[in-house]
Chains A and B, each alone.
Chain A
Amino acid sequence: MDVEQARQDLCRRTLSDIQRPLDRLIYLASMRDYNTGVYHHDGLASRFTEEVACEALADCHREAFRELVICPLAELVSQLDAYRSSTHTSPREFLTAWGRLEPYRVAVPVQTDPLSAEFLFSNFKIALAVLESQLDSHPAGLTA
């Protein structure tokens, strides 16, 4: 019950401002300690407990992942372009970094089933290739 309340609190106060599942996935992955796999959110932990906050963040992370896995490729390309635009990075620099570092691989929740994860990684790979091709053909075509 506490976890559900914490989840609703997180959705209302924080996640409602993050519309796109990709942005939510990256935001929630950034709340996770890479060494321990534990999620931290000071505000949520102060209103509930560390454990409840961690569980609520993990729930929301899994939900964002599920939303992204089942979204059509066209939508993923659009979300990726919008995310790139929100980082104020140049399109070329962003696409090169994402193509080489594949940061999306560390953004998935733990205990994700391998097929869903591979499917999402595969879609990211294609989305990056599509954006790169659009950048090559219309350098001004991507959102600034």
Chain B
Amino acid sequence: MIQLLFFFFIGAALLSSLLFLSRRGDPRAEGDSRVLLEARSALDALQGNLLPEQLVQRIFAKGDLDYVVSLAVPKPIRDLFVHERKKIALSWIGQVRCQISSLKRFHVSGARSYAQLGLRTELELACHFAALVVACRALRLAVYVGGPYVAPRMVGATAMAAARICTISEQSLAFLNPVQLKPFASSSLQS
């Protein structure tokens, strides 16, 4: 009877492991090119769309709030303004965090397969990622509770930390950039 129970538990454990493995979503092999492409697209989104200084300054610009207040418009319009800016600010934080997570996945799962990262660089990156994730969470909470203008310095620090990660990641992904070939005609003339 005890033997039967033992084999029953082993069978149940194996079955549940199989179920767990089969239900695991989107399994990716080490060195999967999708991780690389995802990281490249995250880097482009951060550098091209989310981190440009002018856009970040505009989203969190207190001057716009001062303008709305100076107009002495009815309270519902002031509330609409704050609500809209808060929505955009939270969306910015969420998207920065999402793209940073994508870069983190690339560094955690695939960097060794593609890039020659040193231990020091990896440690530096791990610290930057950890600090940025904490900063994003803190900023999100601050904006959610206090509105978009509550922590301008934190916004600047988050954007700078994200930019640092982009710079390091860019070096790891540099081999994906298209190679600038020399003009065919000139090289054939030389040979």
B95 CB contacts on chain A under 8 angstroms: 115
Q: 0/1 per residue, A70-103, Cβ < 8 Å to B? A: 1011100000000000000000000000000000
Interface residues in B70-127 by Cβ distance below 8 A to A read 71, 73-74, 77, 80-81, 84-85, 87-88, 91-92, 95
Say if the beta carbon of B61 comes within 8 Å of chain A.
yes
Rounded to whole angstroms, the CA-CA distance of A126 and B74 in the bound complex is 12
Rounded to whole angstroms, the CA-CA distance of A10 and B74 in the bound complex is 43
Binds B, one of A14-22, A28-36, A40-48, A117-125: A117-125
Contact at A115–B92, with CB atoms within 8 Å?
yes
Say if the beta carbon of B142 comes within 8 Å of chain A.
no
Say if the beta carbon of A108 comes within 8 Å of chain B.
no
Interface residues in B118-151 by Cβ distance below 8 A to A read none
Which of A113, A126, A134 is close to B84, meaning CB atoms less than 8 Å apart? A126
Shortest Cβ distance from residue A112 to the other chain B in the assembled complex, whole angstroms: 9
Rounded to whole angstroms, the CA-CA distance of A116 and B54 in the bound complex is 12
Say if the beta carbon of B49 comes within 8 Å of chain A.
yes
Rounded to whole angstroms, the CA-CA distance of A127 and B95 in the bound complex is 25
Say if the beta carbon of B64 comes within 8 Å of chain A.
yes
Say if the beta carbon of B68 comes within 8 Å of chain A.
yes
B80 CB contacts on chain A under 8 angstroms: 125-126, 129
Contact at A74–B49, with CB atoms within 8 Å?
no
A122 CB contacts on chain B under 8 angstroms: 84-85, 87-88
A116 CB contacts on chain B under 8 angstroms: 49, 55
CB within 8 Å for A72 and B68 given contacts A115-B50, A118-B91: no
Contact at B58–A69, with CB atoms within 8 Å?
yes
Give the interface size class of chain A: 10 to 19
Q: 0/1 per residue, A108-144, Cβ < 8 Å to B? A: 0000010110110011011001100110000000000
CB within 8 Å for A70 and B68 given contacts A115-B91, A126-B80, A129-B77: no
CB within 8 Å for A130 and B87 given contacts A69-B55, A70-B54, A70-B58: no
Contact at B54–A113, with CB atoms within 8 Å?
no
Which of A73, A74, A130 has the largest number of chain B CB atoms within 10 A? A73
A115 CB contacts on chain B under 8 angstroms: 49-50, 88, 91-92, 95
A119 CB contacts on chain B under 8 angstroms: 55, 58-59, 88
The residue on B at minimum CB distance from A71 is B58
Rounded to whole angstroms, the CA-CA distance of A115 and B88 in the bound complex is 7
Say if the beta carbon of B48 comes within 8 Å of chain A.
yes
Those 9 A-B pairs whose CB atoms lie nearest each other, nearest first: A113-B49, A73-B64, A122-B84, A74-B67, A70-B54, A133-B73, A129-B77, A70-B58, A126-B81
6 contacts between A and B (CB under 8 A): A74-B64, A113-B45, A113-B48, A115-B50, A118-B88, A130-B77
